[in-house]
């Protein structure tokens, strides 16, 4: 299995694009979020649209869903097909009614719901989804913006992918110590205050053995100033591609 970062920047970063990723799992290619810069990134990487099999939505900020409209229109009209869209039950109504309906609804052609554009798979809380035999995703509800549902991902029981979250050391400790998590992609706000994100300063309080498993993403344009100041953690870089086989990362 492989993961490629379409972007590694924060919501407002201009240099590194939005933090979105593409997982390649035995012939099934799954986008983790599709933010405003995702389609441009796919284009720059020469990844053809028809190689994308599905997209998983972690939460409803534009840097995570801003590309879903283009993806919907282009899969429908250019490719004449639907791809899978994994959406948490709690995100569904808002995703359609308040984010996408205004432009995707087309009474003339009878397109009246998300299901007219995507093969929608509604995921319940605490439901682990078997996307394919080799790719299992467990959504973990995490705190980001108060009152707004947000789900980080625990993939194949060893890989934690944060979906923008306020620092939660208990969760990271528990995943690391009790659940065999050997790889963590974590959002990282470089400058204070963090408010709805985890800051570098907070991540630096984690024990060294956890830091060694952490790759930092969702950072601001001034990231280069922080190279060498991230303890045992390393920055992911835009368009970086990494093998994420269980063998390597399961402790
Ligand atoms: Zn974000
Ligand atoms: Zn967010």
- Residue 43, pLDDT above cutoff 90: yes
Which pLDDT tens digit goes with each residue over 138-175?
999 999 999 999 999 999 999 999 999 999 999 999 99
Dist. CA 230–CA 105, nearest whole Å: 46
Confidence (pLDDT) at 251: 66
**Ligand number nearest to the C-alpha of 196:** 2
Average pLDDT for the chain: 96
* Concatenated DSSP letters of 68-97: HHHHHHHHHHTS---EEEEEETTTHHHIII
Q: Which helix (DSSP H) or strand (DSSP E) does residue 22 occupy?
A: strand 20-25
Query: Could you give the domains of the chain?
Result: 2-249 (3.60.15.10)
If pLDDT is split at 50, 70 and 90, which confidence band does 246 have?
confident
In this predicted structure, the answer to whether residue 42 has a pLDDT above a threshold of 80 is yes
- Return residues with CB closer than 5 A to ligand 2 (ion): 61, 164
Average pLDDT over residues 204-229: 98
CA–centroid distance, 143 to ligand 2, in Å, is 10
CB 71 within 8 A of CB 57: no
Taking only the tens place, the pLDDT of each residue in 69-91 is 999 999 999 999 999 999 999 99
Give the ligand with the smallest distance to the CA of 150: 2
How many angstroms is it from 217 CA to the middle of ligand 2?
12
pTM of the model: 0.97
**Which ligand is located closest to the Cα atom of residue 188?**
1
Q: Which ligand is nearest to the CA of 9?
A: 1
pLDDT at position 247: 81
Q: Nearest Cα to 49, choosing from 81, 20, 95?
A: 81
Say how many C-beta atoms besides its own lie within 10 A of residue 121's C-beta: 13
CB 205 within 8 A of CB 169: yes
């Amino acid at each position: 299995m492989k993961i490629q970062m379409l972007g590694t920047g924060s919501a407002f970063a201009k240099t590194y694009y939005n933090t979105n990723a593409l997982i390649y799992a035995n012939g099934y290619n799954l986008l983790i979020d599709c933010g405003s810069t995702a389609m441009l990134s796919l284009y720059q990487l020469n990844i053809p649209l028809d190689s994308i099999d599905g997209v998983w939505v972690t939460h409803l900020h534009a840097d995570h869903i801003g590309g879903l409209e283009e993806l919907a229109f282009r899969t429908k009209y250019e490719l004449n097909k639907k791809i899978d869209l994994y959406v948490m039950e709690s995100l569904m109504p808002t995703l359609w009614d308040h984010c996408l309906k205004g432009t995707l609804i087309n009474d003339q052609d009878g397109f009246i719901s998300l299901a007219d554009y995507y093969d929608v798979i509604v995921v319940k809380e605490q439901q682990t989804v078997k996307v394919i035999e080799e790719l299992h995703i467990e959504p973990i509800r995490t705190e980001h913006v108060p009152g707004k549902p947000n789900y980080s991902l625990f993939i194949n029981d060893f890989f934690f992918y944060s979906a923008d979250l306020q620092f939660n050391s208990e969760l990271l400790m528990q995943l690391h110590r009790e659940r065999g998590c050997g790889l963590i992609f974590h959002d990282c706000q470089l400058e204070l205050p963090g408010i709805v994100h985890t800051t570098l300063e907070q991540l630096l309080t984690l024990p060294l053995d956890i830091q060694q498993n952490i790759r930092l993403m969702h950072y601001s344009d001034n990231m280069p100033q922080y190279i060498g100041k991230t303890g045992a953690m390393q920055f992911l870089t835009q368009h970086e591609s990494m093998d994420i086989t269980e063998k390597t990362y399961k402790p």
